[in-house]
Structure 1
Amino acid sequence: MMQIAGFEFADGARFQTGAAGDANLVGQHLELLRQQCKGELTPKDVVDDARNPNSPLHCYFEWDDSAAAEHYRLSQARGLIRAVVAIYTQPDQPAQRMKAYVHIPEPAAPHYRETSQAMSQKKTRDMVLQRAWREFQDWRRRYKDLKEFAAVFEAADDVAKKLPKKGGA
């Protein structure tokens, strides 16, 4: 049986401002909660524990209800935007379903654009493709040990050769 030797935060993990960054402490505490909860850990268990100001998880949450509600609504809005699918038509071709909007991670003003518009401009197309590639690589790291996906990973390596390089090179 495998045992946990320690904990780290995943690459790219983001937390609210002021959150302490001790992944081992957080991981050990989550593991303790999981054991106390008969081996099953739920987000509700984590939030309930984190309500205690002495919990090592406390600083990872927004406790101002007004701010938390606004953050939640923004999260819901992002989910709503991502959920919309547009049905595109062209003469003499079958209708095509596609995400209506894609995220454009411009540093000063991240936003969403209509997909065909974003993909028709080099700068935003490159941003969308780079983000999609990063997300795929994250998925790949999570499932790299599953032999069943080896062919997918090989095909992805071929696709990578055709993607725009960061910085437009």
Structure 2
Amino acid sequence: MTWRSLRGFTGAGYDKGRCLLVQAIWFAALNILFVRWWFPARWRPALLRAFGARIGRRVLIRHRVRVHWPWKLEVGDDVWIGEDAWLLNLEKITIGSDVCVSQGAMLCAGSHRRLSSTFEFDNAPIVVESGSWVAAKAVVLRGVTIGRGAVVGASAVAHRDVHPGAVVTAGTKV
């Protein structure tokens, strides 16, 4: 068993990618504009681009979507991201074209080293390949690639790579 001493946490190995001022401006824009129901969906991709995201054409991002760091996000064409989705991209998240990330889904590119007494980061990028679907309340964890045309079903957890065309459901072992 590992006893944690969080006081010793250093955050070593995690690069936020922008200075504190840019981070603060993004968090203000995220919470004042981006997540609000009244902020037009057609403006959300433009706001993400203004902060360094690479966003394709005809991308629909619904309200209450959270993106941790836009500069660590790449999205293809014809992508839908549903209400309450959370892209916790401590490392890069790449979403291909014709992908649906449904309501309440979470793509979590961050974690911690379980055996580290100071709980240091253990982050890794996520790739969701074209034609895939991450269904409602599904979770994709750090370092995972969701293969082309695969489905991570409602409330399922993808903790390792999902092969192209595969379907993972809440009771499936991946």
Query: TM above 0.5, one fold?
Result: no
Q: Which has the higher strand share?
A: 2
Compare CA radii of gyration and give the structure with the larger one: 1
Q: Which has the higher contact order (CA 8 A, sep 6+)?
A: 2
Q: Which has the higher helix share?
A: 1
